[in-house]
Structure 1
Amino acid sequence: MNSMDKRYVILGLSGLVLCAGIVMLGVGISYFEQSDNDVTIDRDSENYVVNFDPSLLRLTYTRSSDEKCLLSVFMGQSADGRGEMMSYPRIVQSCQESDPVCTTVTYTIGPGQAELKLSVTELSVSDVSQNVKCYETTWSSTTDDVAPVDCFPMSDYWFGGAEMYYQHWPVNSWDKFMSFYLSGDMFEDAQQFGSVLERYWLSSSGVALYVPPDVPLHLSIENQRICFKGAYGDPYKIRNEALLTHWLKYTACFGDSPQVTHDFMFKKYFKRPNALPDLRMMKSPIWSSWARYKVNINQSTILQYANEILEYNFTNSQIEIDDGYEVRYGDHTFDPVKFPNASEMIQTLHDLGFRVTTWVTPFINPRSENYNEGDVNKYFVLNGAGESGRVPWWNGIGSAIDFTDPDACDWYSGLLDDVRTRYGVDSFKFDAGEINYVTVVPNFELFTPMQNLGYYTRHYAECAFRLGYQIEVRSAWDCHHLPIFVRMMDKDSNWSEAKGLKSLIPTALTFTLLGYPYVLPDMIGGNAYEAGFHGTPLPERELFIRWLEITAFLPSMQFSYTPWQYDDVTIKLSRDYVTLHETVVFEELKKASEEYVAGKSGIGPIRPIWWVTYDDVKAFTVDDEFMVGDRYLVAPIVNNGSRSRDVYLPGPTFRDGARTILWEDKLRGGAPIAGGVTLSDYRIELEEISWWELTLK
């Protein structure tokens, strides 16, 4: 058997997983309490059954008499999901006589060719909940050229994973070939995973998949399958000598509903933020110089911008001085030609009621004073020769700070503390932090070797948090404990699913499901990159207005292009939506965030519409509506030129299975409407957004 034959063999082992402890196992599930407002009820013990049939080599689960397959040997595919089905005449299963349910299994591929070892363990979950069953599966290989792969057919709707170029919700329609599962700058590459990702996926039937951080995980989602592969090799360079060659481990958990399972998973595997973020950033708009001015800023520009904001009677949380203020990237100090008296400018901004933040990155370019000051090269990601590695990024060639070194974080945060002291800057916008800016260094070396490079991103975010709560980052992995805003990747000024307006809601929902509740959407109207990275054309008016309306219901509003660049109607409309955000939406955002931090809710303030209901199949497919807490449903227009849309109101039953959902129309008024219905061709003018308030009966 050649190596290609062996590769297809192991890739076809999907479905043999979880054989141990699940043979003909029926699991009764009862409802798990979600919050103080929910009602705990007992469900039919036959409502949810997990079953493994050894004669068919199929693992199935049944909800409400609807049988689904999670794993099956007949679903085996190649690593990129494109291979042919295969048969298994050369696979021999062997179990010890003392192990009748096969908790440890050896699969021999060909006579003496390779062995694959499988162990499956039922996890004890009594410390979290008795209402979810979990099974941990581990594959290990005895040879370098056979890597274990398991594929899961998406017979349900699946959510989670990563921020993506095309942000589909659910993820069933993704088209992502097999690659290592680490964050990347997906701005120009639709096949890179994005800046925010976790090893977590959740289905509409309450099935969850979780992969531990030390597994050398590769992932594909295509052809309606999620495939995991465990394989070493760049960038997974560090091997665990206690294991054999390649290995794969993951946990599959089963609960009565996605809400139950999600709450369970976050209690068992993830953390919550221990506080709220800076609430002024949540309540009032951020005003950024970037999209409107790009790098063409100076002291007069910033002061004029601030005066315009006040002249048109807009509130603010802060003014953000973005790219273009430094002499060289990595200085972090103001160009004395463009900003002849930066301290005085910032004091003036403070006197006008603004806080001030500046834009920083983890890169220091070689001409920067900070690059050449003392023996700082040791603080950078090194190449194989022990020298500071060179990193191509969007503003030239620099070196990336190695945040796995505590001394490097001390040095970097000290530089920024000096900036605050020197100029009076209040805080910072932290850009980049993705893993591709580490792996681009040939033979990269980090101060702390790690099997999962995602820890680099976490160390960067933790270093940023030293500067306080008034923080935003754009990359995150395992950073759930930090009460800071996580920003979406730059959006283009268009209506598309490819980083345009249509990606806004799916990205916000993905962030919140992955445990990042304080979502910072990008600039209202996008960045207008259509005219080049430094171009500043004004986005079309209708796009700006529709973007504004959605952002008014998200955890933070961020302007760069301004309403007064359009007309008086846009100015008034913008003020009205800012007021709505500050006086109505903010209170629910704050309340829902407090419940999440306190553990009274399993999810942050921005929620999918299926979160409030039980077994509403239609709700799982809606990608252009969202909930603010359990109170408001938002159904905006996301199509150019549209003045109506179908609005789906989920229901009829609340997630506790006992109460009926009613929806009150906040736009048109009228009698409450029972949930579980679609309002066809609901009229929404350009200046309007459809939003509804949930009540229970």
Structure 2
Amino acid sequence: MKNFIILLIFFVSNIYSQNNYDTLEVKIESNTNWWAGIIIEGHKMPLEDGYEANLFGTSYFNQLQPLLISSEGELVWSEEPFSFKITNENILFDKAYASLDYIKAGDNLREAYLYASSKYFPPSGKMPPDLFFSVPQYNTWIELTYDQNQKDILEYARSIIDKGMPPGIIMIDDNWQEDYGKWNFHQGRFPDPHSMMKELKELGFKVMLWVCPFVSPDSDVYRELEKQGAFMLDEKEKPAMVRWWNGVSAVLDLTKSEGDKWFKGQLDKLINEYGVNGFKLDAGDSRFYKGIKSSKKITPNQHTELFAKVGLEYPFNEYRATWKMGGQPLVQRLHDKSHDWTDLRKLIPQMLLEGIMGYPFSCPDMIGGGQFTSFLNDSPIDQELVVRSTQVHALMPMMQFSVAPWRILDEKHFKAVLEAVDLRGEFKNIILGLAKDASLTGEPIVRSMEYVFPHKGYSKIKDQFMLGNDILIAPLLSKGIGSRKVVLPKGKWKSDMEKIYRGGVNIDIEVPLNRLPYFIKLN
């Protein structure tokens, strides 16, 4: 049995209330690489000299985990936020709101991660419903943005089927509702939501609705909840007004039963009355909780954690911003990406980071980009980018469409998209098997080269990845090139073109528009 070297730094005072800080210095040994649980920064990892971060009161617009792990089996964990800075020689930790643990848990990245997973965020034994993994998801955001309406949602769903794509989960995004906090279908835009839901179900879709923890202050719901004391408060003990991307709103205090029970009651009502299957739970970012007060004194990060725990009661869920929810059956989506090649190249390293931070049930944003401003005012569409984005998604844990590919692509490019969707169908049982394994063991579904083949010089490879331990996937991530280099580890590999390769070499391959290169390791 391995001997674990554990350094625990304890202190007895109430950290949050008294602002005492814990500190730690970890020496960076030669040829050691480190990763931190800041998912949106995954493309910047392994960490380099000069990198610094403060985890308090932020989600970095995506998932966070208070964990750093190294290629030599080391890890640092804290139950609460901390700051750290990287130099060429060490990592300096301070401003910790709880004790910092440094542990030499093994000899490589995988051993460090599995130790952290088992000790700090053990897998729950549960996973999101199979449908998240077996077929694409469809989100109405890019097509409709703030004009969510019954007519166009049904047209979008019918077109999915008519164009030869499989039904799956359809997510109706922001502005289906009457107002923030008034979680009823807007009567003007949804004249008959029951019939809409009925048709969507008959077409084969499960339906999720966008929700958030905000309540518009000029609504009757706000006035009633204010009387109940359900809101976060400002310094004058009045409901705090929080500015977010859609204006200024009050925010529910989920540390109080009045806020928590009311919100879940609204979600349950939508399920019971309309047959909604679940929810896209957005806007729980820690930054919205800074400088305001709740009934129970907790950190802004813990408020994000409370909002994420709501999703545990609804198997069909999706989150963009969470804190310390590793090992749980929550769908975690990457932050919105722009419609460009730079953001496309961020998908693989950020998804790989999700896996080693305890978030295996993850989705690489929306195909072609989820940043809706990229598609406004007749913005130019890069058809090749949409195809290559689809191919990156195809063998990830999940794939999600939003912009309608049949609308923006010509026949050749749309055919390549359909082929990538079909390829996922061929691999869906493998992906499902890995997802079920992740729910029991914590092992990532998609894995970095360093994770599977430690100490081979693969730490900085960010343009190829492993599906499990035996399938290497190497999408094309640059425009107009048509070829790429693939790093093949030692062993015997069979490509998607049925060609056999001896590993331990770098190979150059041709990648036409309709090809997603992959290599299966042979025994």
TM-score, length-scaled by structure 1: 0.70
| 1:691 correspondence with 2:501 | no
| CA gap 1:449/1:419 in 2 versus in 1, 3 angstroms | same
| CA gap 1:402/1:222 in 2 versus in 1, 3 angstroms | farther
The structure 2 residue matched to 1:259, chosen from 103, 110, 126, is 110
* Match in the other structure for 1:169: 45
| CA gap 1:537/1:295 in 2 versus in 1, 3 angstroms | farther
In 2: Cα distance, 1:482 partner to 1:562 partner: 31
* Match in the other structure for 1:94: none
| 1:398 correspondence with 2:265 | no
* Match in the other structure for 2:293: 445
In 1: Cα distance, 2:254 partner to 2:51 partner: 30
* Match in the other structure for 1:581: 424
In 2: Cα distance, 1:262 partner to 1:149 partner: 20
* Match in the other structure for 1:474: 320
Shift of residue 259, structure 1, vs aligned partner: 1.9
| CA gap 1:593/1:166 in 2 versus in 1, 3 angstroms | closer
* Match in the other structure for 1:368: 219
Shift of residue 271, structure 1, vs aligned partner: 1.7
| 1:644 correspondence with 2:483 | yes
| 1:459 correspondence with 2:306 | yes
Report SS of the residue matched to 2:316: coil
* Match in the other structure for 2:461: 622
In 2: Cα distance, 1:144 partner to 1:564 partner: 55
The structure 1 residue matched to 2:410, chosen from 527, 542, 567, is 567
Shift of residue 146, structure 1, vs aligned partner: 9.3
Written as runs of structure 1 = structure 2, the 5 A alignment for 1:514-533 is 514-531=357-374
Written as runs of structure 1 = structure 2, the 5 A alignment for 1:95-110 is none
Written as runs of structure 1 = structure 2, the 5 A alignment for 1:20-169 is 130-138=2-10, 148=23, 150=25, 152-153=27-28, 155=30, 156-164=32-40, 167-169=43-45
Report SS of the residue matched to 2:183: coil
In 2: Cα distance, 1:309 partner to 1:254 partner: 48
In 1: Cα distance, 2:110 partner to 2:10 partner: 27
* Match in the other structure for 1:603: 443
* Match in the other structure for 2:500: 671
In 2: Cα distance, 1:224 partner to 1:575 partner: 49
Percent of residue pairs identical:
26
Report SS of the residue matched to 2:67: strand
Shift of residue 594, structure 1, vs aligned partner: 2.1
Shift of residue 438, structure 1, vs aligned partner: 0.3
In 2: Cα distance, 1:486 partner to 1:147 partner: 30
Gapped regions of structure 1 (runs ≥ 5): 1-128, 185-192, 237-246, 653-660
Q: Does the 8 Å CA contact 2:79/2:99 hold for their aligned counterparts?
A: no
In 2: Cα distance, 1:478 partner to 1:273 partner: 14
Shift of residue 180, structure 1, vs aligned partner: 4.5
* Match in the other structure for 1:662: 492
Tell me which of the two structures has the higher relative contact order, counting C-alpha pairs closer than 8 angstroms and 6 or more residues apart.
Answer: 2
**One-letter code of the match for 2:358?**
G
| 1:425 correspondence with 2:262 | no
In 2: Cα distance, 1:200 partner to 1:561 partner: 35
Shift of residue 544, structure 1, vs aligned partner: 0.4
* Match in the other structure for 2:335: 489
In 2: Cα distance, 1:364 partner to 1:692 partner: 50
| 1:337 correspondence with 2:188 | yes
Shift of residue 538, structure 1, vs aligned partner: 5.8
* Match in the other structure for 2:72: 205
| 1:218 correspondence with 2:83 | yes
1:255-307 per-position Cα deviation (integer Å, ceiling 9, x unaligned): 22222232222212222132121111111111111012211232211111111
Shift of residue 203, structure 1, vs aligned partner: 1.3
**One-letter code of the match for 2:79?**
P
* Match in the other structure for 1:279: 130
**One-letter code of the match for 2:387?**
I
Q: Does the 8 Å CA contact 1:665/1:691 hold for their aligned counterparts?
A: yes
Aligned length: 517
In 1: Cα distance, 2:85 partner to 2:516 partner: 37
Shift of residue 476, structure 1, vs aligned partner: 1.9
* Match in the other structure for 1:633: 472
Shift of residue 511, structure 1, vs aligned partner: 0.7
Report SS of the residue matched to 1:134: strand
Q: Does the 8 Å CA contact 1:183/1:194 hold for their aligned counterparts?
A: yes
In 2: Cα distance, 1:323 partner to 1:196 partner: 20
1:221-280 per-position Cα deviation (integer Å, ceiling 9, x unaligned): 46675321136xxxx6xxxxxxxxxx8633232422222232222212222132121111
In 2: Cα distance, 1:336 partner to 1:598 partner: 44
| CA gap 1:587/1:423 in 2 versus in 1, 3 angstroms | same
Report SS of the residue matched to 1:476: coil
| CA gap 1:562/1:418 in 2 versus in 1, 3 angstroms | same
* Match in the other structure for 1:305: 156
In 2: Cα distance, 1:469 partner to 1:582 partner: 23
| 1:230 correspondence with 2:77 | no
Report SS of the residue matched to 2:309: helix
**One-letter code of the match for 2:462?**
D
In 1: Cα distance, 2:22 partner to 2:134 partner: 49
Shift of residue 677, structure 1, vs aligned partner: 1.8
In 2: Cα distance, 1:202 partner to 1:403 partner: 32
| 1:541 correspondence with 2:383 | yes
In 2: Cα distance, 1:146 partner to 1:284 partner: 47
Report SS of the residue matched to 1:250: strand
Report SS of the residue matched to 1:579: helix
Report SS of the residue matched to 2:229: helix
**One-letter code of the match for 2:36?**
G
Shift of residue 626, structure 1, vs aligned partner: 1.0
**One-letter code of the match for 1:638?**
L
| CA gap 1:686/1:222 in 2 versus in 1, 3 angstroms | farther
The structure 2 residue matched to 1:328, chosen from 170, 179, 182, is 179
In 2: Cα distance, 1:596 partner to 1:145 partner: 37
Q: Does the 8 Å CA contact 1:524/1:548 hold for their aligned counterparts?
A: yes
**One-letter code of the match for 1:445?**
K
Shift of residue 217, structure 1, vs aligned partner: 1.7
**One-letter code of the match for 2:134?**
K
Report SS of the residue matched to 1:208: strand
Shift of residue 154, structure 1, vs aligned partner: 6.7
Q: Does the 8 Å CA contact 1:328/1:367 hold for their aligned counterparts?
A: no
| CA gap 1:587/1:356 in 2 versus in 1, 3 angstroms | same
| CA gap 1:176/1:291 in 2 versus in 1, 3 angstroms | farther
Taking only aligned residues, the RMSD between alpha carbons, in angstroms, comes to 2.6
Q: Does the 8 Å CA contact 2:124/2:328 hold for their aligned counterparts?
A: yes
Written as runs of structure 1 = structure 2, the 5 A alignment for 1:350-389 is 350-375=201-226, 378-389=229-240
**One-letter code of the match for 2:44?**
H
In 1: Cα distance, 2:65 partner to 2:106 partner: 20
Gapped regions of structure 2 (runs ≥ 5): none
Q: Does the 8 Å CA contact 1:392/1:398 hold for their aligned counterparts?
A: yes
| CA gap 1:207/1:484 in 2 versus in 1, 3 angstroms | same
Shift of residue 377, structure 1, vs aligned partner: 5.7
Q: Does the 8 Å CA contact 1:132/1:264 hold for their aligned counterparts?
A: no
Q: Does the 8 Å CA contact 1:291/1:523 hold for their aligned counterparts?
A: no
| CA gap 1:330/1:220 in 2 versus in 1, 3 angstroms | farther
| 1:348 correspondence with 2:214 | no
In 2: Cα distance, 1:168 partner to 1:493 partner: 20
* Match in the other structure for 1:592: 434
| CA gap 1:154/1:508 in 2 versus in 1, 3 angstroms | farther
Shift of residue 535, structure 1, vs aligned partner: 5.7
* Match in the other structure for 1:317: 168
Report SS of the residue matched to 1:522: coil
Report SS of the residue matched to 1:615: coil
| CA gap 1:249/1:319 in 2 versus in 1, 3 angstroms | closer
Between Structure 1 and Structure 2, the one with more helix by share is 2
